[in-house]
Chain A
Amino acid sequence: MLEDVFVLLSNTLFSMVPLVLAGVGEVITERSGVVNIGLEGIFILSAFLTTVVTFYTENPYLGLIIGILVGALSGLLHGIISVYLKGDQIIAGVGFNSLAYGISILSLVALWHSHGSSPSVEKMPVIIIGHLTIPPMAIVAILVGVITWWWLYKTPSGLKLRACGEDPRAAEAMGVNVHRTRLYATMVGGALTGLGGAYLVVGWIGQFTKFISAGRGFIALANVAFSNWNPLMAVVGGIIFGFFDALSIYVPIKIQKTTGRIITAESNLFRIIPYIGTLLVVTIIMKKVKAPRALGKPYIKE
């Protein structure tokens, strides 16, 4: 029984990392006034390139750096479209998700002639304390959340960033360059999401698979709304949603172990847990939240 608790706790720690990193990143992006629903695409693309780099260099840390760079560049692209070209942010995000998925799978086939998954790659070490396995990235993710909270609420540059999302015209009057701030915020958000995508490979799964992100980008988006655009709450949300994710993996294995019955068809039913759970939590909590007022609207100088 106690062992089960430890297993679930460990699994939750593993699952929460991408949700916290992308969630906190998107809080930064959205606080500046830009919505990036392309998180799913960033996860896939950075996970893929991390795999490629780690496979050829056998160095997961280099893979991690590439993941961050891929995320930052994706954020830059989305920032240019949203901020300077005044594009429709939701549509651009939808398009990016499709593009990132397509390119990753095309490249997967081109490189490894496999349509489903890459070969295994080197992983980063984990911390083991008794029955508990802790990915070091879980600690990093929590720290990122805390530092981001401090930055947004306790520093002048954090205030300026939030002003861009609440009232860009007033921010401009304060002497803030709204366009540039939004572009940087979107890049930082992308970089953190890219780190999350890289972690999926070198911190957790150990290879790239076709459905590696499995809607986690959208769960991270739900986490942003759940957190009420507060990085500390995004850490809490990441733990809650990570727990659902862990549960969906754990329950069928546990049932198989205890009953000795192989469940294949039913395992599909357990996989709905994170999505239904996310929807339920958001439905119950959402009513009270308030998005940044200028969210999703291009800022047009007069």
Chain B
Amino acid sequence: MLKVNEKTLEVISSLIFAFLIGAIVLTLLGYNPAKVYIILFKYGYGNLEYLLNKSTPLILTGLAFSIPALAGVFNIGGESQLYVGALTALLVAYYTRNPILALILGGIAGGALGLFIGALRVYRGINEVITAIMINWTMFYILAYLISAKYHDPKNPHESVPVPSEARIGGIFIIAVLIAILYYYLLNFTELGYKLRVSGLSPKSARYAGFNPSKLILSSMLLGGLAAGLGGALLVLGITYAIDDTLSTVYGVGFTGIGIGLLGRNNPIGIIFSGIFMSGLIIGGQWVELKTGAPPELADTLVGVIVITLAVPQLYREIFKRIRREKHA
């Protein structure tokens, strides 16, 4: 019980720390932090339906980072896995007008890309962080090419062909929650989940127990990629219905997922909440831009500080230890 409390405390203290640093940065840049934060929270969390919709792909890219992370693999390729998921779903929906097929194939496309990164690590020994970044950029430019050269909407030249109205879906947040619950179940109540967690916590024990680490890397990357692919699919089928040629509709969703996974402490249920929290931050950031002219990169800055502060649990552990010692003294 105490352990859970400490984890929550870690998250809360890192958030407070991040907002303090954010306030300093804002002040230095000549903005009024109190005013910015009030707008951020008031508008960011003001419209519940919009908030939950927007959080859907973020929750899924959060899972895309966290499931492999639990197995000790760093999937920072959620970005490109979301791209291929979105593109596949868009094209399948456009040609077949079948949303279910689009969703499934979008997920599979993301999963396949995740598996590819895992396979390069397992069979060629290439660090997954490097592979993922190279593939992120490659996919970015391939997608930009396809949208602007092959699949642009003649009626709307800065956008891709649209998802036809009969292939659009609602209730995407519910789908994301169901997937998160499924992943929670998988991690905590199945053999695969148990093996994944053990090999992440202690690769040595996993090896002694006779687990096949290669297989675990591959399955965790498949599961992660699948989540990001579904995130991309839900994004185009349920929110944007098209991709613009500067890719602003998809760019950054995967990177933000890293922060969301960390903020949720790699727990699928925690990720639902951290996804909603971060979604509000991003929406609020756009409102701040509208109202004060502060650029939307404010959200990147805050996410960066949050992620850094989350990287050093040791710091909070030390602080808590001191506090407890003082209490006892």
Chains A and B are bound partners: yes
* A residues whose Cβ falls under 8 Å from a Cβ of B: 37, 81, 85-92, 94-103, 105-107, 109-110, 115, 214-215, 218-219, 221-222, 225, 264-266, 268-269, 271-272, 275-276, 278-279, 282-283, 286-287, 289
Chain B residue nearest in CB terms to A40: B133
Q: Give the complex CA separation of A101 and B138 in angstroms.
A: 20
Given A91-B307, A94-B258, A268-B144: A279 and B300 within 8 A (CB)? no
Complex interface bits, B17-37 against A, C-beta within 8 A gives 1, otherwise 0:
000000001000110000000
For A283, list chain B residues within 8 Å (CB). 120, 124, 126
Contact B130 A92 (CB under 8 A): no
The answer to the question of B194 belonging to the interface, with a C-beta cut-off of 8 Å to chain A, is no
The answer to the question of B92 belonging to the interface, with a C-beta cut-off of 8 Å to chain A, is no
* Among B29, B135, B310, contact of A95 (Cβ-Cβ < 8 Å): B310
Q: Give the complex CA separation of A269 and B311 in angstroms.
A: 36
Given A222-B130, A268-B145: A85 and B314 within 8 A (CB)? yes
Contact B125 A98 (CB under 8 A): no
By the criterion of a CB under 8 Å from any partner CB, how many residues of chain B are at the interface?
A: 50
Contact A99 B310 (CB under 8 A): no
Contact B134 A105 (CB under 8 A): no
For A275, list chain B residues within 8 Å (CB). 134-135, 137-138
Q: Give the complex CA separation of A215 and B120 in angstroms.
A: 20
For B145, list chain A residues within 8 Å (CB). 265-266, 268-269
**Majority secondary structure, A binding face:** helix
Q: Give the complex CA separation of A37 and B137 in angstroms.
A: 16
For B144, list chain A residues within 8 Å (CB). 268
For B76, list chain A residues within 8 Å (CB). 94
For A81, list chain B residues within 8 Å (CB). 308, 311-312
Given A81-B311, A91-B310, A276-B138: A105 and B74 within 8 A (CB)? no
Contact A96 B304 (CB under 8 A): yes
* Among B133, B138, B315, contact of A272 (Cβ-Cβ < 8 Å): B138
Give chain B nearest CB distance to A279 CB in angstroms: 5
Contact A215 B137 (CB under 8 A): yes
Q: Give the complex CA separation of A81 and B133 in angstroms.
A: 23
* Among B30, B303, B309, contact of A110 (Cβ-Cβ < 8 Å): B30
* Among B126, B148, B308, contact of A265 (Cβ-Cβ < 8 Å): B148
* Among A89, A105, A272, contact of B297 (Cβ-Cβ < 8 Å): A105
Contact A87 B312 (CB under 8 A): yes
